Structure 1
Amino acid sequence: MTSIFRTVMGADFDRLHPRLQRRFSVGLTSGEACTGRGVMDRVWHGGTFVRPFLALGATRNILIPTPGRNVPFTIENVPYTDTFGRETVTFVRTFDLPGRPRRFDAQMVLSPKGDRILDYLGTHQHLASELHFHAEPDGSLLIRSGEHRFREGAVDLRVPELIGATAEVRESYDETESRFRIQVRVVNRYFGPLFGYEGSFRATYTDIRTCGVRAGLRPVREESRA
């Protein structure tokens, strides 16, 4: 057994910077969880037309409706077994924005074929995205989203490109500063950049056998469809 990220990347995983290898080895096999704490230099939005969609998504902890600079940030990557018996790793991001903290929740599982990661978004996992992981020549990690699906009850629809978006995440390790650096961009094919953030953080690791999964990290509803 190995982490879901090493499984999906295969030999490409060994090309990542060693610090990234450890960070993405979190899982039930390693017995470790990872918490990153740092600052987002910038949380940005596209045009004003994006705001209503971001505000709607924020009601289910999807995307961040408020832009800002020098925003304290936490990301919690904790492995657990979901109600369908799948190994799951939380990607719960909390942005300490003025007025109130905002969360962007995701839970990642390995696809049934083991060839991609499925990213279930929000408190009720209404949105699911395919994620593809690649090691870059400099040892950084590039994550790109593929197909998005909306699921609620009997409804299971592919999100059309007109209203959907492609997410691109770049994560690296800065040896000079001893920090992870992250850059996220969400772009619509027709309307351009919609949302993103960039900044840095330091990571600490804990034993999941002693810390467990804190209350509020798991979603309200879990989706079984892959």
Structure 2
Amino acid sequence: MTIYQTLLGEDFTRLHPKLQKRYALPVDQPFYAKGVMHKIESGAKWLRPFYAMATKTRFLFPESGEDVPFSICNTCRVLPSGELEVLWERTFYFSNKTRYFDARMTVDPVQKIVKDYLGSPALFYSDLHFAVTSEGRLVIRSGVQRFVVSQIECPIPKMLEGRVVVEEGFDNKRNVFTIHVSIHNPLIGRLMMYAGEFTQQSM
């Protein structure tokens, strides 16, 4: 049983069957998919220094675009502690640049949250709360966040947080996974938004 099944418990069975298969993630058996982001929007131009730092750690990036090719690889692995971790590797193929968005996730079964470290090496940490909609889609919302400096983690004031909402589903008619991600700050506005679709591929 991988971290998402552990976290969601019986609710895992309410996910669309394709999402159940996608998030089962047996150890060392990656889920790999390719698709297209119909729209990608970054934030204001004055945030470029922040994006420049973020791109160096395979986190957020300044580019926006439409119909951008995309790939995703999720791999569940066993840490030396025996804990299960899922590595997220997202790649966006802009016409003149390739950008990355990495994350590492583990689960806290007591607090019922996913612990998400964003970037390689990690630049930010966020609690994630998972829920299943009545239609069988997966919705993820961020919680407490921290700025990561090596082994030090500093709490981020709520007004400075990048509030994340992710919705992932499956379109039966078109036989594709659908994804919509929004990262928004209450003071600054949009930090990142992307929406698109993808299909599982052999590696």
TM-score (norm 2): 0.93
Structure 1: which 5+ residue stretches go unaligned?
207-226
Q: Which residue of 2 aligns with 1:170?
A: 167
Distance 1:114 1:5, change over 3 A: farther
Q: CA deviation at 1:95?
A: 0.2
Gapped regions of structure 2 (runs ≥ 5): none
Q: Percent identity?
A: 33
Q: 2:71 aligned with 1:74, yes or no? A: yes
C-alpha distance in 2 between matches for 1:51 and 1:128: 21
The 8 Å contact of residues 8 and 114 in structure 1, kept in 2 or not, is answered as: no
Pairwise CA RMSD of aligned residues? 1.7
- AA paired with 2:18? R
Contact 2:35 2:198 (C-alpha < 8 Å) held by counterparts: yes
Instruction: Select the structure that is richer in strand.
Output: 2
Counting matched residue pairs gives 203
Q: Is the 8 A contact 2:130 2:140 kept in 1?
A: yes
Alignment equivalent of 1:181, drawn from 164, 167, 178? 178
Letter in 2 for 1:156: E
Checking the alignment, whether the CA contact within 8 Å between 2:128 and 2:141 is kept in structure 1 is yes
C-alpha distance in structure 1 between counterparts of 2:104 and 2:152, whole Å: 20
1:87 and 2:99 matched: no
User: Could you tell which deviates more after superposition, 119-128 or 70-79?
Assistant: 119-128
Q: CA contact under 8 A between 2:179 and 2:196: conserved in structure 1?
A: yes
Deviations 1:25-47 (A, max 9, x none): 1032xx63201100000110232
Distance change >3 Å, CA 153–CA 56, structure 1 → 2? closer
Q: List 4+ stretches of structure 1 deviating above 4 A.
A: none
**What SS does the corresponding residue of 2:30 show, helix, strand or coil?**
strand
Report the counterpart of residue 35 of structure 1 in structure 2. 32
Moved more, 171-180 or 95-104: 95-104
- Tell me the amino acid that sits aligned with residue 183 of structure 1: H
Secondary structure of 2:117's partner? strand
Q: Is 1:103 aligned to 2:103, yes or no?
A: no
